[in-house]
Chains A and B, each alone.
With several copies, the nearest count.
Chain A
């Protein structure tokens, strides 16, 4: 048999199977499993060699065919538990094929009906009522159109949805004062203690900025005794020299 068959010509594994059965002039009720399975597999194999994507459905059917074939090769064993109606392993497949064949025929029937704009034409509607919005064409509105409209709305919405942030006005100046306060009180403080547990990310960032500002203004010193040891912060000026007036937001450049 020529293998000049493209899987794309087939609507699915059932379609391909029907084609093979017909070309072999087999009785659909008495499919020769060995032959059909072989041919089916060779088509699939051929497609694979051409590096074409063989859809999962076709492979699933291949597995089914092999299973049925092997089941038929086994001698029929008397069921011990008295299950008498030993079904033909092909029965389910045959039923599906017949059913599928029927809908294929039905599809042909539909195609032969006179179709709008192909065989039959309607009077062109004269746009008489130009009032209001453009109305939906000739589709009566149903649930699908409703869901579709919402989907479309979300997809094409002009509005950019950004997470709404309530900006907490954390001031660097406040944190500068806070650090200076703490250092005036206890002389020195470890870097880790500047970030108490439970602080938000924003608080941490602002605290760190405040610390850098203080270093820049040479108001604090940072020291570490050795690598990986705690980092210590201490005042570089006497606490009386600290002039809070210079340390507002504007002066720090965060205004």
Chain B
């Protein structure tokens, strides 16, 4: 491999978080199209389930991670117990992941229970982001998932979320109130919910 290729591998290896293609382009002062083959070459060199860890595409970037099937071995390593979601937290997170941007009121209608505490926990753990305020009376805060959410679940982007067949089929039939609210959603929301890959930390010019 040429030096640039090795350097890309080393940078992804050394970086704290998943490394976006844009950031790599910036560091190497070259175009995306120049780097894409380099990434492809590295993915071939570091495939899953060969060398213990692999080059994964995660949260809008690239990252080395251990093979998931080795989890039993690795759990011996970490002293602290892995973070576990409560059922309530997981449900709430799922609703937000699939329906974002979504307000607390909408979540509570869907869950049938007060969700302030769960929301706060998820926000504190960095799984959620506030996407702005909804343009309806009361201007409630809108929530969405964060980059950390993608990294945590090893998702490339939101489109990589497992598709739920019936889920999408039945989605339009949410309660009329919420549906009406969604209809009045302004187009210029602060952050388009689907562009999560752009949420990577801003770079300094």
Is B177's CB under 8 angstroms from A151's CB?
yes
8 Å CB contacts to A: which residues of B1-22?
Answer: 10, 13-17
Report the minimum CB–CB distance from A180 to chain B (whole Å): 32
Is B164's CB under 8 angstroms from A12's CB?
no
Is A96's CB under 8 angstroms from B85's CB?
no
Chain A residues whose C-beta falls within 8 Å of the C-beta of B177 in the assembled complex: 151, 154-155
The answer to the question of B25 belonging to the interface, with a C-beta cut-off of 8 Å to chain A, is: no
Chain A residues whose C-beta falls within 8 Å of the C-beta of B87 in the assembled complex: 11, 107, 133-134, 136, 149
Report the minimum CB–CB distance from B39 to chain A (whole Å): 18
Is B154's CB under 8 angstroms from A104's CB?
no
CA of A121 to CA of B151 in the docked complex: distance in angstroms?
A: 11
Chain B residues whose C-beta falls within 8 Å of the C-beta of A128 in the assembled complex: 78
Is B14's CB under 8 angstroms from A116's CB?
no
CA of A108 to CA of B198 in the docked complex: distance in angstroms?
A: 27
* Cβ 8 A contact of A153, one of B66, B74, B94: B94
Is A114's CB under 8 angstroms from B154's CB?
yes
Chain B residues whose C-beta falls within 8 Å of the C-beta of A121 in the assembled complex: 10, 13-14, 65-66, 74, 77-78
Is A114's CB under 8 angstroms from B111's CB?
no
Is B130's CB under 8 angstroms from A155's CB?
no
Chain A residues whose C-beta falls within 8 Å of the C-beta of B124 in the assembled complex: 148
> How many A-B pairs with Cβ below 8 Å?
246
Chain B residues whose C-beta falls within 8 Å of the C-beta of A116 in the assembled complex: 151-154
Is B16's CB under 8 angstroms from A141's CB?
no
* Cβ 8 A contact of A14, one of B111, B129, B197: B111
Report the minimum CB–CB distance from B13 to chain A (whole Å): 6
Is A146's CB under 8 angstroms from B93's CB?
yes
Q: What 1/0 mask marks residues of chain A from 216 to 231 whose CB sits below 8 Å from any chain B CB?
A: 0000000000000000
Is B112's CB under 8 angstroms from A96's CB?
yes
Is B88's CB under 8 angstroms from A150's CB?
no
The answer to the question of B173 belonging to the interface, with a C-beta cut-off of 8 Å to chain A, is: yes
The answer to the question of B75 belonging to the interface, with a C-beta cut-off of 8 Å to chain A, is: yes
CA of A113 to CA of B109 in the docked complex: distance in angstroms?
A: 26
CA of A104 to CA of B164 in the docked complex: distance in angstroms?
A: 11
Chain B residues whose C-beta falls within 8 Å of the C-beta of A108 in the assembled complex: 90
Chain B residues whose C-beta falls within 8 Å of the C-beta of A55 in the assembled complex: 113
The answer to the question of B205 belonging to the interface, with a C-beta cut-off of 8 Å to chain A, is: yes
Chain A residues whose C-beta falls within 8 Å of the C-beta of B161 in the assembled complex: 109, 143, 146-147
Is A106's CB under 8 angstroms from B198's CB?
no
The answer to the question of A163 belonging to the interface, with a C-beta cut-off of 8 Å to chain B, is: yes
The answer to the question of B103 belonging to the interface, with a C-beta cut-off of 8 Å to chain A, is: no
CA of A219 to CA of B131 in the docked complex: distance in angstroms?
A: 61
The answer to the question of B185 belonging to the interface, with a C-beta cut-off of 8 Å to chain A, is: no
Chain B residues whose C-beta falls within 8 Å of the C-beta of A161 in the assembled complex: 197, 200-201
Q: Identify 15 residue pairs between A and B in the complex whose beta-carbon atoms are under 8 Å apart, listed by A's number.
A: A98-B170, A110-B94, A111-B90, A117-B78, A117-B82, A121-B13, A123-B64, A135-B85, A145-B90, A147-B162, A149-B90, A150-B164, A153-B95, A155-B175, A161-B200
Shortest beta-carbon contacts, A-B, top 8: A133-B86, A139-B126, A12-B113, A150-B94, A106-B94, A118-B82, A121-B14, A107-B90
Query: Could you list 10 further interchain pairs (A-B, Cβ under 8 angstroms) beyond the known A150-B164, A157-B112?
Result: A55-B113, A102-B170, A117-B83, A118-B84, A124-B16, A140-B199, A143-B129, A143-B154, A147-B130, A147-B167
